[in-house]
A and B are shown apart, each in its own frame.
Chain A
Amino acid sequence: MANRANRHAARTEDSDNTINYVQCDGLAVMKMVKHCHEESSNMDLAQGALLGLVVDKCLEITNCFPFPKSGDETMDEEMYQLTVMRRLRRVNVDHLHVGWYQSSDVGNSLSMALLESQYHYQTSIEESVVVVYDTQKSSRGFLCLKAYRLTPQAIQMYKDGDFTPEAFRTLKVGYENLFAEIPIVIKNSPLTNIMMSELNELLPEDKGHNFLDLGTATVLENQMRSLIERVDELYQEAVRYNKYQQVVFKQDTEKHRALAKLAAENAVRTSKGEPTVPEEEVIKQFRPMTAPNRLTATITSGQINTHAQHIAQFCSQSLAKLFITESLQIAKEAKETK
């Protein structure tokens, strides 16, 4: 439900964008999932490239391949990507680079690094997206696949390299419009669908409840922990900003005082017929303070936002699960009593 609402919101939000939704092939999804589960640990992330093409306002992702693990110095990553794509073209697979994917832990993926790489992607390949796959949550039975793009404002801001509060205000960038989430649709070929339903038939009756895992506590705990961490960070940022404000305020009052004093002196001078001292000299004495970088704070806010959304979503899903289990249980008991 929440998903659908999100999707709706996203669609209305960036209707002017190049892409309205992402259509992902089942195969590509499976490949991503496999790679992420195999290679991501809490230390490093699994990353890979997405291949596909744009068909009017819809980005079709038909294939993907993983990037080699970082740390291997001898490997030239660019060369590797190019070779892989060339070879894929030879076997007639889509080879257009349309973005990249990354594994994440408990949804803290929207980081500075992600912003940076996505900026480079989007400036070189306009339609590129980043797909974030949450391994931990998926292992709890919720497939969590999200596609993000940078909004034009965010790109503009990053291009300027100006993260002062003024820049944020003029560009109207906030945490909610730094990244735009793009809905993902997973599409399978009819043949796959047929096989899926067949498999569904084959599944024994009492084995199908795996997805009704009720052990929600750990996921929620982890989410809460990272949420707390993020809030702490934001708190630090706010303190920093507050300090900056105080300094600026102090300086301002001093400046005002100096200007007032100057004005009084000038008034005396003009009465004596002497030339007045220009105001610039006083102003020059007060060097403007460097405003703190707001980007980190914005990103942290964004992360908090996603965390909150995740938690809300997770809770509703868990509730749904509980209800399903309840009804199942009742049905089972009724069956037994019969």
Chain B
Amino acid sequence: MSRFFANGSESESESSEEEIQATNFNKASAFQFSDDEEEVKRVVRSTKEKRYENLTSIIKTIRNHKKIKDIPNTLSSFEDLTRAYQKALPVISKEENGITPRFYIRCLAELEDFINEVWEDREGRKNLSKNNSKSLGTLRQKVRKYIKDFEDDLSRFREAPDQESEAEDEVVALESDGGDAGDDSDAGVKPTEAVPKAVKSAPAKAAPADDDDSDDSIDWDSDSESETESSDDENQYQNMRERFLKRTTEKEEKDDDKRKDKRKEQKTKIRKRAEDDEDGEWETVVKGHVVEKPKMFEKDAEIDVPLVLAKLLEIMSARGKKRTDRRLQIDLLFELRDISDQHNLGTAVSVKIHFNIISAIYDYNQKISEPMKLEHWALLLEVMQSMMKLLLANADIIMSESVAEEHEEYATSPFYVRGCPLAAVERLDDEFVKLLKECDPHSNDYVSRLKDEVNVVKTIELVLQYFERSGTNNERCRIYLRKIEHLYYKFDPEVLKKKRGELPATTSTSVDVMDKLCKFIYAKDDTDRIRTRAILAHIYHHAMHDNWFQARDLVLMSHLQDNIDAADPATRILYNRMMANLGLCAFRQGNVKDAHHCLVDLMVTGKPKELLAQGLLPQRQHERSAEQEKIEKQRQMPFHMHINLELLECVYLVSAMLLEIPYIAAHEFDARRRMISKTFYQQLRSSERQSLVGPPESMREHVVAAAKAMRCGNWQACANFIVNKKMNTKVWDLFYESDRVREMLTKFIKEESLRTYLFTYSNVYTSISIPSLAQMYELPVPKVHSIISKMIINEELMASLDDPSETVGMHRSEPSRLQALAMQFVDKVTNLVDVNEKVFDMKQGNFFQRGNMGNRGDRGYNRNQNNQGGNWLGQRRDRNNRNRNQRGHHKNNQDRQQQQQQQVQTIDEE
């Protein structure tokens, strides 16, 4: 464009104009022609003909499918046929007085014959593939149902079946009736068709490519000569294509409906292009105007604010119209800006133009889901920043949505400009995210895109400054939230340094910034959403910097868990991310239980990836529609904000292991044992089911292997499985202070292994010396002492500490494994007996009833029952203190069995 200006003398532009016009004439005529062509077709082809063509083409495909016995396709074609017929029905009733066309009946008859033939051929039917035979069944049923409506016609047809060629002729005749080019019968055309099609495809492809080229080039007007030439070529192609098109039969067109559609699209595109061209020309004149304008005004020496504003209004009024060339609009606005700058029309005007440029750039992309072009992006950033700088530099400019159009003031200070930099910057941010999502996250593209993040943040910062100066609370909250959302997921090592006192307490870190922003929002926000998001981000940020207590307190105080289900998906995603990070933080801080608690909701579903919006799960059988998928894709997090899933899962599994294994050991025989972590349990189970367990490969296998080692109290093996080179590179090195985490982990493994060991093997000891335990687990003696004391206090371990000898004396109160099993067994047997008694109860009820009815009044039997009832109560009581009184219970059991036998006998007698 600038080049254009550079060599844009009047005469040249004129000459080029001429040329353009000349070429345009050609162009126009060519298009005129093609349009006519289209018109003719549209007018001449009657609906009847159209429908019939449709029908015949489907019939033909059915015939083809029948030939190769492709039954599923026949089925689908048949369905198409019935649908097409349904469409054609009004026409038929009008044109043929409701008589079903012959060819249609014929097709139905043929189809029926074909089905019967295939159906009868049992041998062949057996050999059909599953798919084929299934669709054969459905086809048969459908056809049977369908032809019931045509029974009369069919029987008439079967009486006088006509030859195939006749029918074909009929069809053709019908076609030619319509007076169109459908004069070739299908057989003849096909081979000839193939050639032009091939030829056709090449230019067809070439044309849009050209299109794109011209589209992409920015200086499209300056070398309009060559451009128009090339477009001329296009037109030639276009004409050639039209010629080919003419030759193709209607039928073929119908066959390739889709292709035609595509072609149509291309055509319209080209036409649009042509329109654009025209527009362009028209606009060039305008542009010439603009170019001339300085000259014009130079003569008058008057370019003033209203003039520029009028121009601006003129340009912007074209906005949103179909015929507007959006790029040109942007260019024009830039020029206008330059001009206004040249003439020192004041910053207010400049700001206004800037703002309009921004909205024009946003307008350029019509689809919301697609990212904007990179060049526009760069432009946008630049304009945005310069606008904000202008705004900030001139305190007397007030830009706001609340300024009404008629109150805008450009001439005198204070200036009022209508516009909303907040909306613009929010859109900017959204566009940035879109751009990022477009890139492959593992490519350099992504990195280079990500470099713009700094600029985006800078822009946000500028807008923020502006609103801090003048802006309502709501606006400030909004812009703060934008800033927070760029801040919360970034790790600032200075925070930790400050915490350790390496940096002076006065240095401002990201946590401080977050604190300031969030507190403002907490105090001033009146929409719930912003506050919720701010809290979530705040917690996230705290968790990231190991401020476990602050983070936890914020979670607890905000009561987020209660009402997060009502939030919008984006907020829920943020909540999930927050929870994940909180879990990681808890783990780093050594709060294994909390870590597990935080992560369990995410992990138990088995799809943390989806919950964190870090990728879609592979689609399973149309679980979601294309639309849904699109929405879900929009929700995805950009890659640089992802939380490492493997780390997450590993932390979860390890914390589950640390909790679950001692628990399993402690409650080995408890019938009512519940699982702490289902996922972990499943992993363990599946590994146990394997007949051959190899050395661990993946992270999960490592954890499972470690869990198994821990079960025997082998802490060394366990620690080796969790902390080794492989796991370090995979997981632990991802933590900021990985060494500290590893140390903490080893300590936990030691402690929990010790606990597991005591649970599992306490029954083989009468006493254990604490120093030897401490030696075994490489723990300090007081630590072991405290662990054991804790277990004793919690009544997990029946033992007593003997201080002088430093030993733990075991009280053999818990049963051996076999005894425990026997106890469990007794439980089960009593259950069974209970149910059995109920079964007998029912019997008795029946008998009792019958006895009452007078069939049999057996007194002895009744007595028996009473007797048993009495006993029963006794048993019930017994069952309550069964554990204390096993023997008595057994005796009772025996009694009961005897009774039951008695009862059986009585029943048998009956």
Contact of B805 with A by CB under 8 A:
no
Inter-chain contact B832/A249, CB cutoff 8 Å: no
Q: Type the 1/0 row for B214-225, where 1 means its CB is closer than 8 Å to any CB of A.
A: 000000000000
Given the complex, which residues of B lie within 8 Å of A242, measured CB to CB?
A: 835, 838-839, 842
Stretch at the interface among B66-74, B238-246, B817-825: B817-825
Q: Type the 1/0 row for A237-255, where 1 means its CB is closer than 8 Å to any CB of B.
A: 0110110011001001000
Given the complex, which residues of B lie within 8 Å of A245, measured CB to CB?
A: 839, 842-843
How far apart are A227's CB and chain B's nearest CB, in angstroms?
6
Inter-chain contact A235/B825, CB cutoff 8 Å: no
Inter-chain contact B845/A249, CB cutoff 8 Å: yes
Q: Type the 1/0 row for B836-863, where 1 means its CB is closer than 8 Å to any CB of A.
A: 1011001101100000000000000000
Inter-chain contact A41/B822, CB cutoff 8 Å: no
Inter-chain contact B835/A221, CB cutoff 8 Å: no
Contact of A232 with B by CB under 8 A:
yes
Bound: A204/B99 CA distance, A: 106
How far apart are A169's CB and chain B's nearest CB, in angstroms?
10
Inter-chain contact B832/A238, CB cutoff 8 Å: yes
Contact of B792 with A by CB under 8 A:
no
Inter-chain contact B839/A241, CB cutoff 8 Å: yes
By secondary structure, the A interface counts as: helix
Given the complex, which residues of A lie within 8 Å of B842, measured CB to CB?
A: 242, 245-246, 249
Contact of B138 with A by CB under 8 A:
no
Inter-chain contact B839/A235, CB cutoff 8 Å: no
Inter-chain contact B846/A249, CB cutoff 8 Å: yes
Given contacts A228-B824, A249-B846, A234 and B832 within 8 Å (CB-CB)? yes
Contact of A58 with B by CB under 8 A:
no
Bound: A227/B824 CA distance, A: 11
A216 — nearest CB in chain B belongs to which residue? B818
Question: Quick one: which of B99-139 are within 8 Å of A by CB?
Answer: none
B821 CB contact (under 8 Å) in A224, A235, A249, A252: A224
Contact of B513 with A by CB under 8 A:
no
Given the complex, which residues of A lie within 8 Å of B832, measured CB to CB?
A: 231, 234-235, 238
Bound: A252/B691 CA distance, A: 53
Question: Quick one: which of B688-743 are within 8 Å of A by CB?
Answer: 691
Given the complex, which residues of A lie within 8 Å of B818, measured CB to CB?
A: 217, 220-221, 224
How far apart are B254's CB and chain A's nearest CB, in angstroms?
48
Question: Quick one: which of A14-69 are within 8 Å of B by CB?
Answer: 41-43
Bound: A246/B845 CA distance, A: 11
Bound: A249/B848 CA distance, A: 13
B835 CB contact (under 8 Å) in A217, A224, A228, A235: A235
Given the complex, which residues of B lie within 8 Å of A227, measured CB to CB?
A: 825
Contact of B897 with A by CB under 8 A:
no
Contact of B828 with A by CB under 8 A:
yes
Inter-chain contact B817/A235, CB cutoff 8 Å: no
Contact of A225 with B by CB under 8 A:
yes
A217 — nearest CB in chain B belongs to which residue? B818
Inter-chain contact A231/B817, CB cutoff 8 Å: no
Inter-chain contact B835/A239, CB cutoff 8 Å: yes
Contact of B775 with A by CB under 8 A:
no
Inter-chain contact A238/B839, CB cutoff 8 Å: yes
Question: Quick one: which of A296-327 are within 8 Å of B by CB?
Answer: none
B836 CB contact (under 8 Å) in A41, A238, A246: A238
Inter-chain contact B839/A231, CB cutoff 8 Å: no
Contact of B616 with A by CB under 8 A:
no
A234 — nearest CB in chain B belongs to which residue? B832
Bound: A59/B842 CA distance, A: 47
How far apart are A263's CB and chain B's nearest CB, in angstroms?
14
Contact of B829 with A by CB under 8 A:
yes
B828 CB contact (under 8 Å) in A217, A221, A231: A231
B908 — nearest CB in chain A belongs to which residue? A169
From A41, A227, A235, name the one whose CB has the most chain B CB atoms within 10 angstroms: A235
Bound: A170/B816 CA distance, A: 46
How far apart are A336's CB and chain B's nearest CB, in angstroms?
28
Inter-chain contact A231/B821, CB cutoff 8 Å: no
Given the complex, which residues of A lie within 8 Å of B816, measured CB to CB?
A: 217
Q: Type the 1/0 row for A124-160, where 1 means its CB is closer than 8 Å to any CB of B.
A: 0000000000000000000000000000000000000
Given the complex, which residues of A lie within 8 Å of B846, measured CB to CB?
A: 249, 252
Given contacts A41-B691, A217-B818, A224 and B825 within 8 Å (CB-CB)? yes
Inter-chain contact B825/A231, CB cutoff 8 Å: yes
Bound: A221/B818 CA distance, A: 6
Given the complex, which residues of A lie within 8 Å of B32, measured CB to CB?
A: none
Given the complex, which residues of A lie within 8 Å of B402, measured CB to CB?
A: none
Bound: A87/B648 CA distance, A: 62
From A238, A239, A241, name the one whose CB has the most chain B CB atoms within 10 angstroms: A238
Contact of B831 with A by CB under 8 A:
yes
Inter-chain contact A235/B828, CB cutoff 8 Å: yes
Given the complex, which residues of A lie within 8 Å of B835, measured CB to CB?
A: 235, 238-239, 242
Bound: A249/B849 CA distance, A: 11
How far apart are A85's CB and chain B's nearest CB, in angstroms?
32
Given the complex, which residues of B lie within 8 Å of A220, measured CB to CB?
A: 818
Instruction: Report which B residues bind A (CB closer than 8 A).
Output: 691, 816-818, 821-822, 824-825, 828-829, 831-832, 835-836, 838-839, 842-843, 845-846
Please name 6 further chain A to chain B contacts, defined as beta carbons within 8 Å, in addition to the given A242-B835, A246-B842, sorted by A numbering: A221-B821, A225-B821, A228-B821, A231-B825, A235-B828, A241-B839
Sort A-B residue pairs by CB-CB distance and give the 9 closest, nearest first: A238-B835, A224-B821, A245-B842, A231-B828, A235-B832, A242-B838, A228-B825, A242-B839, A235-B831
